[in-house]
A = this chain, B = another copy of it.
């Protein structure tokens, strides 16, 4: 076995090894332009034998085409985002485009940094979670020179394209469903607001809708950090100790909702008879709980797919900005029906 050279191989090496000009080698390796079957084979053989890996840096610079799509999301630990990512990856799978992920930890300063970093690779498109960004970020997006799709949330003013759901409306809808089922003493358990605009909007929509029915949130509690399941237990316990006559708790996500559910069942409390519950997200992960938690699907997969498609559609022509508001489906499950 020949000792591999320390220097990475270049087109030139393949060219010399195959006795074919660099240009033709390049054509073969990209399946571009007419190349005779004979030379094609010789080149492919040489490239394979040497273990040549093309240098995309050089290719991208020369062609000013970078087949990367920057995907900027707040977190990977949240379940929600990996699912969006799946939708994106799958849609891009059969295309030359490739997603590259950057994580912001729900922090605008980090979003700025990540965005700057990614834009400096001159991607073919940007998919970014949320419609709230710092002025600097908005300016960068506006000048990105490539299609931009803001995802997850439609309550705001996108720079270019947008696909998501209205979280305000989602909050309202859930409030309606709860009221219609006859619950009246309603508590809310959520994540600390400043971090998560979408959770905040759901809360706002929720309280506003209750307000229209002349009701107020009977109790509320906000958490941050820790295992969501454990937090759900803990906060549910706290809330019921403080406000024992609650007949419903709305959680800002399914995981804490599940924690609450497990707590109530442990205590032998009748769900949904004595207390009803609902979460948000419709995470498949939780199928298999003792009761199916009422929730609302955030259309994560679809959002990913649509966003990727918007980027693809805009690779050639200069299409108009596209704004898509998806319809989240409500699942009443076993925790929001007093039948």
Contacts and interface: CB of A to CB of B under 8 A. Distances in A.
Interface of A: 4, 6-8, 51, 53-58, 60-61, 66, 76-77, 82-83, 85-86, 89, 98, 100-101, 103, 116-117, 119-122, 139-140, 142-143, 145, 227-233, 255, 259, 262, 266, 284-290
A142 B285 contact: no
Given A61-B58, A262-B288, A287-B230, A122 B255 contact: no
Given A142-B4, A227-B286, A233-B288, A86 B82 contact: no
- The complex is assembled from copies of this chain, and their number is 2
A38 to B, nearest CB: 25
Contact of A120 (B54, B86, B140, B289): B54
A234 to B, nearest CB: 8
Contact of A227 (B55, B57, B122, B287): B287
Given A76-B76, A229-B286, A262-B290, 16 more contacts: A4-B142, A4-B143, A53-B140, A55-B122, A56-B122, A57-B121, A77-B82, A98-B117, A101-B101, A227-B285, A227-B287, A229-B289, A231-B288, A232-B288, A259-B288, A262-B288
12 contacts: A4-B143, A6-B145, A53-B116, A53-B140, A56-B120, A57-B121, A58-B61, A100-B100, A229-B286, A229-B287, A232-B288, A262-B289
B140 A227 contact: no
A76 B85 CA distance: 9
A60 B61 CA distance: 10
Contact of A288 (B8, B98, B145, B230): B230
A251 B142 CA distance: 50
Contacts of A285: 227-229, 255
B120 A55 contact: yes
Contacts of A85: 76
Nearest to A93: B110
A122 B287 contact: no
Contacts of A227: 284-288
Contacts of A7: 145
A57 B62 CA distance: 10
Nearest to A233: B288
A317 to B, nearest CB: 14
Given A53-B140, A287-B230, A89 B61 contact: no
Nearest to A51: B143
